[in-house]
Amino acid sequence: MTGTRAAIRYAKAILSLAKEQKVADAVNEDMLSIKNTIAENEELKDALQNPTIKNELKKSILKEVFAKVNATTDGLIDVLIENKRIGILAIVAEKYHALYETEKGKETAVVTTAVPLSGSLEKKVLAKVMELTGSEVTVENKIDESIIGGFILRVGDLQYNASIAGKLNNLKREFINN
């Protein structure tokens, strides 16, 4: 994912500023709104990524769509526009939320599967991850049919790949190396 490292830096900076101004909760709500709005609106996502659209137009679109955000969030949008990095706004919002949750002692376990998790399986994954991490965890299920079967579990910086595609890639590497 391009821009992830920069997005983490922006997210850390905005979280630090929001905590300093004692508006971290309000900014977190804004970030969730931004993340969800951009994810649900393909036209907005394309407009932010499009280099032929002038930054002033992008800024006016964002100011209209997110008119009721906190001043700190509004400042982030201005800085991203000014630095010509507005294309990573959704990633910054996602990373901010993750950092905010981590500071609150909550983790998000991302489970990537080929098919949606059933309720009982999601509860088992949640219980196991809570046991391993010792912190409050929420489970987010991503669907990726390319993994064929199995799952990929990611909690923070840790990743466990038990997917069929991962095992096939390991087998392929073994054959190539031998």
Q: How many helices (H) and strands (E) does the chain have?
A: 8, 4
Strand bridging mode 136-143 / 158-163:
unpaired
| 63 and 90 co-located in one domain | yes
Largest pairwise CA distance in the chain: 60
pLDDT at 17: 96
| 164 and 93 co-located in one domain | no
pLDDT at 130: 84
Tokens 């992830």 appear where? 4
Q: Which of 53, 79, 101 is the last residue of a domain?
A: 101
pLDDT at 36: 94
Which amino acid is it at 91? I
Domain span holding position 54: 4-101
pTM above 0.75, yes or no: no
pLDDT at 2: 65
The model's pLDDT over 88-128, given as tens digits with 9 standing for 90+, comes to 999 999 999 989 988 888 888 889 999 998 989 888 888 88
Residues 160, 154: Cα–Cα separation, whole Å: 6
Percent of the chain's residues with pLDDT above 90: 69
The model's pLDDT over 60-99, given as tens digits with 9 standing for 90+, comes to 999 999 999 999 999 999 999 999 999 999 999 999 998 9
Residues 111, 63: Cα–Cα separation, whole Å: 34
Strand order in the sheet with 136-143: 136-143, 106-113, 150-155, 158-163
Query: 70: domain CATH number?
Result: 1.10.520.20
Q: Which of 46, 68, 101 is the last residue of a domain?
A: 101
Q: Which of 54, 73, 101 is the last residue of a domain?
A: 101
| 26 and 112 co-located in one domain | no
150: pLDDT strictly greater than 70? yes
| 67 and 115 co-located in one domain | no
1: pLDDT strictly greater than 80? no
H helical segments located in 21-147: 24-40, 42-49, 55-65, 71-82, 89-103, 119-133
